């Protein structure tokens, strides 16, 4: 006959404080990028880093478009159903900007692309059905990644804001 079972030890209690979320703004002030930043294929230090211009992210173009296999792209995963992402880019030496890549969500959503003026007014330049950036349409498995890219010359980015709107 088997007797009553009792745990050998009590389970540990949950932490009193939840793990803090990612900061809204990345100012690129550190000499190394945070691990949340990802790139397709490889990320050569001479093409992507924060040491070339302190306080700025510098991207040197390799591929001529976002479709090129050797594109210089640095992104972070979209972690919330709705978010606003902004950056300040210095385009004097190159061509590039902010891009959205592949999504693993299902269901329709709308991506608004635009510019923000110095007063904070947002002007929509284009709307995109988010399904075209989904695994159902485009394939893949990485989830939606929002980030910065260079397709000509050298781009510099002072900061990137990722603000959840949920």
Number of domains forming the structure of the chain: 1
| Residue keyed to tokens 């510099």 | 156
Closest by Cα among 38, 41, 100 to 66 = 100
Q: Is 2 within a domain?
A: no
Element (H, E) at 94: strand 94-101
The encoded tokens of residue 34 equal: 């945070």
| Residue keyed to tokens 């709308």 | 110
pLDDT confidence of residue 122: 86
Global confidence as pTM: 0.71
Q: Is 50 within a domain?
A: yes
Q: Is 126 within a domain?
A: yes
Query: Mean pLDDT by 10-residue block, N- to C-terminus, for the chain (166 residues)?
Result: 66 64 87 89 88 95 87 91 91 94 62 84 82 58 84 96 88
Q: Are 156 and 90 in contact (CB under 8 A)?
A: yes
pLDDT confidence of residue 155: 97
Q: Is 39 within a domain?
A: yes
Q: Is 5 within a domain?
A: no
Q: Is 112 within a domain?
A: yes
Q: How many CB atoms lie within 10 A of CB 74?
A: 23
Which residues span the domain enclosing 79? Answer: 25-164
Helix (H, G, I), strand (E, B) or coil at 131: helix
pLDDT confidence of residue 41: 77
Specify the CATH number for the domain of residue 32.
2.60.120.200
Calculate Rg over the CA atoms of the chain: 20
Q: Is 19 within a domain?
A: no
């Amino acid at each position: 006959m088997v007797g009553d079972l009792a745990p050998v030890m009590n389970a540990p209690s949950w932490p009193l404080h939840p793990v803090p979320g990612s900061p809204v703004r990345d100012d690129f002030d550190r000499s190394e990028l945070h691990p949340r930043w990802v790139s397709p294929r490889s990320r050569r230090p001479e093409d992507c880093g924060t040491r070339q211009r302190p306080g700025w992210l510098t991207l040197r173009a390799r591929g001529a478009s976002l479709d090129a296999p050797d594109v210089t792209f640095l992104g972070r995963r979209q972690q919330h159903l709705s978010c606003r992402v902004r950056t300040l880019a210095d385009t004097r030496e190159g061509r590039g900007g902010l891009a959205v890549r592949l999504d693993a969500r299902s269901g329709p959503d709308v991506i608004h692309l635009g510019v923000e003026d110095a007063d904070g007014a947002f002007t929509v330049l284009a709307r995109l059905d988010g399904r075209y950036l989904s695994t159902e349409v485009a394939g893949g498995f990485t989830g939606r990644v929002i980030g910065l890219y260079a397709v000509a010359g050298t781009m510099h980015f002072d900061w990137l804001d990722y603000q959840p709107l949920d």
